[in-house]
Structure 1
Amino acid sequence: MSLEFEQFDAQFGARIQGLDKNRAIDSQLVQDLARGLSEHGVLLMRGEEISPKRLVELGNAFGELEILPEPDKRHPEHPEIFDLTNVRKDGNVVDFEEPQAVFLRGTERWHTDSSFREIPCLCTMLYAVEVPDAGGETQFANMYAALEQLPPDLRSAVEGKRLIHSYVFSRANNPGRMDPMSLEDQAQYPPVSHPWVRTHGDGRQSLYMGGHASHVEGMDLKEGRELIEQVLDAATKPDFIYEHQWMDNDLVIWDNRSTLHRLRPYDIASRRRVMRRITVAGNEAVI
């Protein structure tokens, strides 16, 4: 049976109909989810408890899974799962300035996952194990609509430009102090160049930017940073945003090729938030 998608009231995003934790993961399911991602950008499955094993199986059906930086945040049994949580291994909530909390606070900036790779990821799946009763929402911004409605002067400014994306840059510019990366780790993630306007397989175009973008290739550093901030402000207006209010056992899947996202603040030093993330590797260069 094919999946159906109930569109949200927001400009984009949809709830998946016809998918539960017991459904077989087959080619039809993957085709339907891929279609839903292409059409809606963000997909929600609500109220189904999903084991780590099942989450990995669902991701693997799409393709190879990324193993992300920050080894201490990988799931102990499934390294493909990135544990995004403010709860320590001893079961207590972290302090505000602990590296674990600082890393999470860094995700409060608009970004797209893995844009620091030569071949960026396809999509991310984020599963909510436990969420706070206030704050901690995730906002998504539609980069198709943002480009389409970009003011003419900014549209002209980004056309033909390329952004340099760097994991070392985004980590160093985290709002709090993180443990420094070793030179060996830094060497694994050299800066990469991607076009600011991304052309997708169906011919549509979107902005491609975010928190990993350090500067505009071939442009004065200060002027380039100012332009990045101008475009980001224009691209993340309320009309382009869907804000997800999490519930326990929510699974949200989003297309990193055409969206930005960010965590909304919450009381990170007292309210528990336990999320499991997997990232499906991309299979095409950004053009």
Structure 2
Amino acid sequence: MAVEIAPLPVPPTADASMLKDFGREVKGVHPGHLSPEQFKEIHDLLYTYGALLFRNVDLSPEQQYALTKAFDPTSESYGHGNKKTEGEKKSILHPDLKTIPRVPQVQLIGNGTVYDHEGLAEAKLKHPSHTTFHKTRISPEDEEKGYTRFYRWHIDAALYDLSPPKVTTLYGVTVPQGQRQRVRYDDGTGDELEVPLGTTAFVDGRTMFNILPPELKSVAVRTKVRYAPHPYVWMAPAHALSTGLGIVSEGLEMPYDELPPWEESKIKVLPMLWKNPVTGELHFQVHPCGVSELFIDALPEGAKREGALFPDGAHLTDLKEVRDLLYKMQRPAIAPHLVYPHDWQEKDLVLFHNRGVLHSVVGAFKPDQVRAFHQCNLAASDDPKGPSEEDVKKWA
């Protein structure tokens, strides 16, 4: 059968013109039974549109792993390392992940207690909540009224030792239905966003770069980002901003000498902008919670210096300064009209370009609302490529 595509349903909260090139629903093929020619088409569609949706698909963990691996055939281990995260009790990710025993690259995530599931006799799942991670929280009274927050805007990546996965696949096995919720940004802007219960929210890294003013585009194209060693352990004692877009600078991060053993050579220093291998476009791809330093190159020879930020380059090591600059650059792209909040149905499969979009868990479930999803991403065989010399000349 031929691969057919249709636009994703854009919610009324979004600016359809800004999301016209983001996301497509794929019809006519089964993602677990793709011919080489069909996979090549799916591969290019994913990098072109950032996210692909397959509705009403029966998909085994083995098929999900095979599909994910096809995007990077030499990749093997789960994006955070097989079973390593589960064994690291101090990691902020520890409560959220359970491994499918026979396919350890596929994780079971969700909420409530799941029984006799793919070789797991019993699994207690916990939906991440802003109440345990943010500096401030919505009152229990307002939560009862349906108010909630983005949990953490992020890229699926260990950000230490392992290279960021190219693709993440998410499969909805059990999807509870319930009242829609309203995300509060609580950052003084008054921004709010109505979302389906338990949505996954996406923003396009291309848009994040494209809407920047020229002086910040120039910074982005010249910057490399250094992540902390074992960043999810490092950030665990700290608190997030109310938008879920980074950490409040209070000095609560775990000192480096108290982290699990780490090596300088395994610390990740990655470009601020990642180049799309199919379209050649630049995506602003930074996990704001894990960043420790920024390296900004000087303007290239012949570039206009008037009005430029950091014309002679800079090495920013003050965490508050680093985070404030990142927030200034990233916050415009999570404005309500630029967010795609997916309305999950059972047997939905969503593939997203993990090197091209940021996403966030959203909302809160009651303990008796059972939700079970299969998630797969694989530590990549290489690091993402940054801007070319031509890109730097064009934007700096």
One fold, TM greater than 0.5? Answer: yes
Is the alpha carbon distance of 1:243 and 1:102 closer, same or farther for their aligned partners in structure 2, counting shifts above 3 Å?
Answer: closer
**1: distance between equivalents of 2:220 and 2:286?**
11
Structure 1 partner of 2:287: 210
Give the counterpart of 2:272 among 184, 196, 211: 196
Displacement, 1:211?
4.1
2:364 and 2:66 map into 1 onto residues whose CA distance is 31
* Number of equivalences: 276
Answer yes or no: is 1:242 the counterpart of 2:340. yes
Task: Provide, for residues 102-141 of structure 1, a one-character-per-residue CA deviation record: whole Å limited to 9, x for no partner.
Answer: 5897682100111615532110000011122132100110
Change in Cα spacing, 1:131 to 1:173, as seen in structure 2 (3 Å) is farther
**Cα pair distance change 1:167/1:26, threshold 3 Å:** farther
Please give the alpha-carbon distance, in whole angstroms, between the structure 1 residues aligned to 2:33 and 2:128: 39
Partner of 1:276: 374
Q: Which moved more, 1:68-77 or 1:259-268?
A: 68-77
State the Cα distance separating 1:235 from its structure 2 match.
2.3
2:16 matched residue in structure 1: none
Q: Percent identity?
A: 22
Relative to structure 1, is the Cα distance of residues 188 and 33 closer, same or farther in structure 2, using a 3 angstrom cutoff? Answer: farther
Q: Which amino acid aligns with 2:7?
A: Q
**CA drift at 1:227:** 1.0
TM-score (norm 1): 0.83
Residue equivalent to 2:3 = 3
Unaligned runs of 5+ in 1: 95-99
Bigger Cα displacement from structure 2, 254-263 vs 226-235:
226-235
TM-aligned CA distance change 1:92 to 1:193, over 3 Å: closer
Q: Structure 1 residues 19, 212: CA separation in 2 closer, same or farther (over 3 Å shift)? A: farther
Aligned: 1:116 with 2:159: yes
Higher relative contact order (CA 8 A, sep 6+): 1
Q: What is the CA distance between 1:167 and its match in structure 2? A: 6.7
Contact 1:165 1:212 (C-alpha < 8 Å) held by counterparts: no
The answer to whether the aligner puts 1:66 opposite 2:164 as a matched pair is: no
Residues 111 and 365 in structure 2, CA contact (< 8 A), matched pair in contact too? no
Where in structure 2 are there 5+ consecutive unaligned residues?
Answer: 11-18, 87-96, 116-121, 134-149, 179-196, 241-257, 295-314, 387-396
* Structure 1 equivalent of residue 147 of structure 2: none
Quick check: which has more Rg, 1 or 2? 2
CA RMSD of aligned residues (A): 3.0
Q: Is the 8 A contact 1:115 1:165 kept in 2?
A: no
What is the CA-CA distance between 1:230 and the residue it aligns to?
A: 1.7
TM-score (normalised: structure 2): 0.62
SS in 2 for 1:15: strand
Greater shift in the superposed pair: 162-171 or 202-211: 162-171
Deviates more, 1:150-159 or 1:45-54: 150-159
For 1:276 and 1:246, the matched residues in 2 are separated by 13
Offset at residue 9 of structure 1 (A): 4.5
